[in-house]
Amino acid sequence: MKHGSRIMKHTLWRRELRGAALALVAIAMLLATTTANAACGSRGGSGPSAAVSLPALASLSAVPAGNINSGKGESIVGLWHVTYTMADGTFYYESYDTWHSDGTEWESANLSPLIGNICEGVWKQTGKAIHLNHVGWGFDNSGNTIGPFTQIENVVVGGNGNSYRGTFDFKLYDMNGNLLQEIAGTMTATRIVAN
């Protein structure tokens, strides 16, 4: 009986320790400095959080499903691991990005969900060139809306169909449509395949 009692005390102690560790992580997140950020890319900027009117955002027509592939092995459709780098060569962020055959795209960035890490877009392909209009919402570290953002990407899939390279231009706006931040750079991606 004494051995069973020791195991139960040890189990309870581990649960309390785990709970305390989770509480410390939550407190650390709450005490983080409050700066403005936007989903899928922004690492700074500022702006009002009150909902006003949205700026007119550029849009693209989705490419018809029958026109997604300009040649054998060059389809963008699928799941990708993408690394973004700023124009000065500094790492910006990384993501998992899914390109759908209906001309839509969805991205999950390696950023805090508090500041927003989910974005979506529409794309079209002309020859080997693929143009993406990617949109989302920017938030500060407290979860208040800053405003919308756009990220225009131009990419080309590699000949083997398992990589792509391109450029991006990220713009964060406040709720009145005023540009708060712009970051440009390059990205590289590797296709993720089923094993």
Distance in angstroms (rounded) separating the CA atoms of residues 54 and 26:
33
The domain 36-192 having CATH identifier 2.40.160: the answer here is yes
pLDDT band at residue 141 using 50, 70 and 90 as cut-offs: confident
Q: CA-based angle 165:147:185, to the nearest 5?
A: 20
**Residue closest to 185 by CA, chosen among 109, 44, 105, 90:** 90
Question: Under a CB-based contact definition with an 8 Å cutoff, are residues 149 and 137 in contact?
Answer: yes
pLDDT of residue 132: 98
pLDDT band at residue 99 using 50, 70 and 90 as cut-offs: very high
Distance in angstroms (rounded) separating the CA atoms of residues 43 and 51:
21
SS3 38: strand
**Residue closest to 110 by CA, chosen among 57, 170, 43:** 43
pLDDT of residue 15: 53
Question: Under a CB-based contact definition with an 8 Å cutoff, are residues 184 and 167 in contact?
Answer: yes
Question: Under a CB-based contact definition with an 8 Å cutoff, are residues 125 and 116 in contact?
Answer: no
Distance in angstroms (rounded) separating the CA atoms of residues 72 and 10:
60
Distance in angstroms (rounded) separating the CA atoms of residues 1 and 96:
52
Q: Which of 15-24, 53-62, 129-138, 167-176 has the lowest mean pLDDT?
A: 53-62
Using only C-alpha atoms, the chain has a radius of gyration, in whole angstroms, of: 21
pLDDT digits (tens, 9 = 90+) for 12-55: 445 554 554 444 434 333 333 334 444 565 544 333 333 333 33
pLDDT of residue 17: 45
For residue 71, pLDDT beyond 50: no
Q: Which of 25-39, 69-83, 167-181 has the lowest mean pLDDT?
A: 25-39
